[in-house]
Amino acid sequence: MSIETVNSVNTRQLKDMFLYVGDQVVACKPLLTKIDSAIGDGDHGIGMSVGFTKADENLKANEFTSINDVFKTIGMSMISSMGGASGIIFGTMFVGGIKGLETKVSLDLPLLAGIFNKALEAIKQRGKADLGDKTMIDALQPAVEALEKSAAANESLVEGLRKAEIAALQGVENTKQYIANFGRAKSLGERAIGHQDAGATTVLIIFKSMKEWLEGQENG
């Protein structure tokens, strides 16, 4: 695929992409711990590291015949290993979007936008949080909207992810202005202002890493 724009990935590539994403999130454990310690209880980085390490293990141990299975394996790895709010919420980010989805063997931008949009709704329903509550939704929702807009404009997968990353980054920045309405930062009130949300930061790392992996394919 050397200099071609990547418009879709197959099951094998999707697995490799999320192995890369997992490595990046695990590598960010100290950063996430630091961010979470400022206003939470400091365990977000540890939890995400546990979850993606388990997902890596399960991805590497299996061959997959559909992208549905790749998403499901990642999500269930998180739900069954992490515990805490993050286990359910980030697990739902991966399993919530494939529920009821017919079996797919390749993933393009409209499908990715659709999966994450459905996941976003599932997360909101489960966690009862919405935009502006200083949670991961503050990064995920703008990222999903960017994916959808980019898909509607017939842009490439990598272009969509570039825009999702920018939107997620803006979302992370926005969390600095919010007081927290969920989780352990809730009791901080105004004192949470000025600090970014750790979960939103993880969402940013996920989109940024997906984009990086795809760019690596284009350049490689």
Partner 1 sequence: MKKIINNPGNVVEEAIEGYMYAYKDSLTKVNNVNGIIRKDLKDKVAIIIGGGSGHEPLFLGFVGEGLADGVAIGNVFAAPTPNTIQDVAKSVDQGKGVLFIYGNYAGDVLNFDMATELLEFEEIQTQTVLVADDVASAPEERKGDRRGIAGDVVVFKIAGAASEKGWSLQEVVRVTQKAADQTFSIGVATAPGSIPGEEEPPFVLGDDEIEIGMGIHGEPGMKRTKLMEADDLTDELLDILLKESKIQTGDEVTVYVNGLGSTTLLELLIVNRRVAQILNKKGIKIYDMDVNSYCTTQEMGGFSITFLKLDDELKDLYDAPADSPYYKKTQKIGEEVK
Query: Rule CB under 8 A: is residue 132 a binding residue for partner 1?
Result: no
Stretch that binds partner 1, among 14-22, 103-111, 180-188, 197-205 (CB under 8 A): 180-188
* Closest to 54 measured CA to CA, from 30, 89, 18, 84: 18
Q: Smallest gap, in angstroms, from Cβ of residue 186 to partner 1?
A: 7
Q: Which is nearer to partner 1, 62 or 80 (CB)?
A: 80
Residue 182 in tokens: 């969920």
**What is the crossing angle of helices 67-81 and 11-27, to 10°?**
30
Report residue 88 as tokens.
């359910």
Count CA atoms closer than 13 A to 111's CA, side-chain side.
Answer: 17
Tell how far CA 62 is from the center of its chain: 22
Q: 49, 130, 59: which is closest to 90 by C-alpha?
A: 49
Considering only 65-73, 107-115, 186-194, 195-203, which stretch makes contact with partner 1 by CB under 8 A?
186-194
Contact flag: residue 96 with partner 1 (CB under 8 A): no
Helix (H) or strand (E) holding 31: helix 29-39
* Interaction of residue 88 with partner 1, rule CB under 8 A: yes
Which lies closer to partner 1 via its Cβ, residue 12 or residue 191?
A: 191
Closest distance to partner 1 from the beta carbon of 102 (Å): 23
83 near partner 1, rule: CB under 8 A: yes
- Residues forming contacts to partner 1 in the complex (CB under 8 A) are 33, 37, 41-43, 46-47, 50, 79-89, 126-127, 182-184, 186-188, 191
